């Protein structure tokens, strides 16, 4: 799995491309988040725009990343999840756990304001 990374105003954006499934991306996402945390970078946005599908293993790794980031005093937020991903979060009752946004601007503002918000543009 290819995961692009960029930094905007002290927030790290990870942009995975492809499915996040067992053996195909789940551990790559985890490794990238762990590396950011080791570097002291704990304001993370996982941009899901190019992720068409997540299975239970992939979701498990994203939950693990979220928990690890929170334990380090940081925040992990989702950007641009598609309808399938939002539906998966709803079915698993995780839709209220993750902060998710439909625009980079809103995601960045959430770190500045410390706000918790969800967007419905999926």
Q: 49 lies in a domain? A: yes
**Does the residue 120 lie in any domain?**
no
What's the number of domains the chain is made of? Answer: 1
| Dihedral over alpha carbons 97, 51, 45, 76 (to 10 degrees) | 30
118 in any annotated domain? no
The per-residue pLDDT for range 40-91, each reduced to its tens digit, is 999 999 999 999 999 989 999 999 999 999 999 999 999 999 999 999 989 9
119 belongs to a structural domain = no
Phi-psi region of 64 (alpha: psi -120 to 50; beta: other; left: phi over 0): alpha
Given a cut of 90, is residue 26 above it in pLDDT? no
Handedness of CA 41, 101, 60, 18 (dihedral sign): negative
Contact between 98 and 77 (Cβ < 8 Å) = yes
Domain of 7: which CATH number? 3.30.750.24
- Please write the tens of the pLDDT for every residue from 97-121: 999 999 999 999 999 866 554 444 3
Place of tokens 């985890």: 30
Q: Taking 90 as the threshold, does the pLDDT of residue 96 lie above it?
A: no
- Assigned domain for 80 exists: yes
Q: What is the pLDDT of residue 25?
A: 83
Q: What tokens were used for 115?
A: 């706000």
Give the structural domain span for 54: 2-113
């Amino acid at each position: 799995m290819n995961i692009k990374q960029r930094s905007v105003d002290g927030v790290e954006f990870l942009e995975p491309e492809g499915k996040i499934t067992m053996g195909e991306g789940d551990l790559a996402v985890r490794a990238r988040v762990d590396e950011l945390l080791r570097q002291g970078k704990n304001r993370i946005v996982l941009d899901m725009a190019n992720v068409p599908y997540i299975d239970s293993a992939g979701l498990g790794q994203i939950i693990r990343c979220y928990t690890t980031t929170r334990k380090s005093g940081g925040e992990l937020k989702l950007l641009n999840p598609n309808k399938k991903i939002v539906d998966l979060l709803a079915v698993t009752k995780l839709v209220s756990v993750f902060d998710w946004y439909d625009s980079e601007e809103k995601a960045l503002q959430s770190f500045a304001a410390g706000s918790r918000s969800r967007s419905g543009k999926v």
